[in-house]
Amino acid sequence: MNVAIVGGTGYGAVELLRFLYNHPHVKVAKIISHSNSGIPFSEVYPHLTNIVDLEMEALDVENLAKEVDVVFFATPSNVSKHVIPSLIDLGVKCIDLSGDFRLRDGGLYKSYYGEDIAEETYIQQAVYGLCEINRQEIKEASLIANPGCYPTATTLGIIPALSKGIIDKKQIIIDAKTGTTGAGRSLAQGFHFSEMQENFKAYKLGVHKHIPEIEQVLSDVANTELQVTFTPHVVPMTRGIMSTIYVDLKEKLSTKEAINLYKEFYRNDPFVRIREEGTIPQTKEVFGSNYCDIGLYVDERTGKLIIVSVIDNLVKGASGQAIQNLNIMNGWDETTGLTQLPIYP
């Protein structure tokens, strides 16, 4: 299958290439770049010299539709919504790593993304690509809205407890941390080495675009409107997200029982690993891999369930999950091309 990647020189794109290079059913036929067309990919990323020397091209929708079956978009917000509709109309399937097609509510999109939402018919066609939860819909989809990095770690952490009805839906507190690649490759003052190293900062309290996304997913699962308290932090590491979630248990439950409930929920999901009692996952333990590892602890004194969910933001939080979606859409084994082990130490 021929695929293309748009947003060629960003981190999402180079991570897609790392996995697609070893994918037995896929050939990356085109890399589209608006800033570096005409330049070999390996000139921008020399670690891929003699491996990915493909010349990047400017976007030409008609030409793309003739030559590829699927297009991955690894572009900033408010870019793909202008291009994906034409590709879908030409019969090309699209997997969007950005947030353009994730939210259903145009008002919320406008307030968190600053622009109008994509055309309604395409919003309706888009399937939210949280693989473990929406597998059936993904099989039939032509347009995938690949979930955000924080929402992936967070919703996979909360959904088992929420869907089993064991927690209070009104008190969900999410304390999340990300590495700096979450902000992409372009330069920003707050991400300079001197500002980031030996630093730890909370940001976008109450206004982060992942708040409505997390609430939409959880509200669908709970079948009622839910709100969450979400505080993101950036920490001085390159990759990784840790989402620590605090919820109130409705009834007494032991840590062992919580672990068993989660193991049962994810029993058919190769990329979600539930840790044994007493082991809490660390970001390094999923580094470079498509795993989401979840650790659980019941604080019997306060009646809270504490959930720790870790992913690699660039893999399960972006490119890996996008390829997992491609596999599901094509009826291939879900793990195809994604079996790289975590890099440790």
Ligand X SMILES: NC(=O)C1=CN([C@@H]2O[C@H](COP(=O)(O)OP(=O)(O)OC[C@H]3O[C@@H](n4cnc5c(N)ncnc54)[C@H](OP(=O)(O)O)[C@@H]3O)[C@@H](O)[C@H]2O)C=CC1
Ligand Y SMILES: CC(=O)N[C@@H](CCC(=O)OP(=O)(O)O)C(=O)O
| Four-residue CA torsion sign, 98, 313, 24, 327 | negative
Q: Of ligand X, ligand Y, none, which one sits near residue 209, judging by CB under 5 to 8 A according to partner kind? A: ligand Y
Cα–Cα distance measured from residue 181 to residue 11, given in angstroms and rounded to the nearest whole number:
7
Task: By CB under 6 A, tell whether 235 contacts ligand Y.
Answer: no
Rounded to a whole number of angstroms, the minimum distance from the CB of residue 200 to ligand Y is 12
Helix (H, G, I), strand (E, B) or coil at 4: strand
Task: By CB under 6 A, tell whether 155 contacts ligand X.
Answer: no
Task: By CB under 6 A, tell whether 154 contacts ligand X.
Answer: no
Rounded to a whole number of angstroms, the minimum distance from the CB of residue 220 to ligand X is 20
Rounded to a whole number of angstroms, the minimum distance from the CB of residue 264 to ligand Y is 29
Order of strands, sheet of 93-96, starting from the edge strand that comes earlier in the sequence: 27-32, 2-6, 70-73, 93-96, 143-145, 127-128
Q: Which of residues 274-313 bind ligand X (CB under 6 A)?
A: 313
**Catalytic position from the list 94, 131, 149, 292:** 149
Task: By CB under 6 A, tell whether 76 contacts ligand X.
Answer: yes
Q: How many residues bind ligand X (CB under 6 A)?
A: 29
Task: By CB under 6 A, tell whether 134 contacts ligand Y.
Answer: no
The secondary structure of 271-285, three-state, reads CEEECCCCCCCCHHH
Q: Which of residues 310-329 bind ligand X (CB under 6 A)?
A: 313-314, 317-318
The residue within the footprint of ligand X, chosen from 20, 28, 70, 79 (CB under 6 A), is 79
The residue within the footprint of ligand Y, chosen from 232, 288, 295, 320 (CB under 6 A), is 232
Task: By CB under 6 A, tell whether 40 contacts ligand X.
Answer: no
Q: Which of residues 207-246 bind ligand X (CB under 6 A)?
A: none
Q: Of ligand Y, ligand X, none, which one sits near residue 7, judging by CB under 5 to 8 A according to partner kind? A: ligand X
Phi and psi based region of residue 7 (left: phi greater than 0; alpha: psi -120 to 50; beta: remaining):
left
Cα–Cα distance measured from residue 318 to residue 96, given in angstroms and rounded to the nearest whole number:
9
Q: Of ligand X, ligand Y, none, which one sits near residue 234, judging by CB under 5 to 8 A according to partner kind? A: ligand Y
Task: By CB under 6 A, tell whether 97 contacts ligand X.
Answer: yes
Rounded to a whole number of angstroms, the minimum distance from the CB of residue 234 to ligand Y is 5
Exposed / middle / buried, residue 183 (Cβ in 10 Å: 0-12, 13-18, 19+): middle
The residue within the footprint of ligand Y, chosen from 23, 81, 209, 275 (CB under 6 A), is 209
Helix (H, G, I), strand (E, B) or coil at 88: helix
Q: Do 327 and 335 contact (CB within 8 A), yes or no?
A: yes
Q: Which residue stretches of the chain are H helix? A: 11-20, 41-44, 61-67, 84-89, 106-113, 120-125, 131-139, 149-163, 193-196, 210-222, 255-265, 320-329
- Beta carbon nearer to ligand Y, 12 or 295: 12
Residue 292: active-site member: no
DSSP 315: I
DSSP per-residue letters across 28-70: EEEEE-SSSTTSBHHHHSGGGTTT--PBPB---HHHHHHH-SE
Q: Which of residues 100-139 bind ligand X (CB under 6 A)?
A: none
The residue within the footprint of ligand X, chosen from 17, 88, 95, 149 (CB under 6 A), is 149
Q: What tokens were used for 134?
A: 């929406």
Q: Which of residues 42-61 bind ligand X (CB under 6 A)?
A: none
Angle at 130 between CA 16 and CA 313, to 5 degrees: 45
Binding site for ligand X (CB under 6 A): 7-13, 33-36, 74-77, 79, 97-98, 148-149, 181-182, 184-186, 313-314, 317-318
- Which residues are known catalytic residues? 149
Binding site for ligand Y (CB under 6 A): 98-99, 148-149, 178, 182-183, 209-210, 232, 234
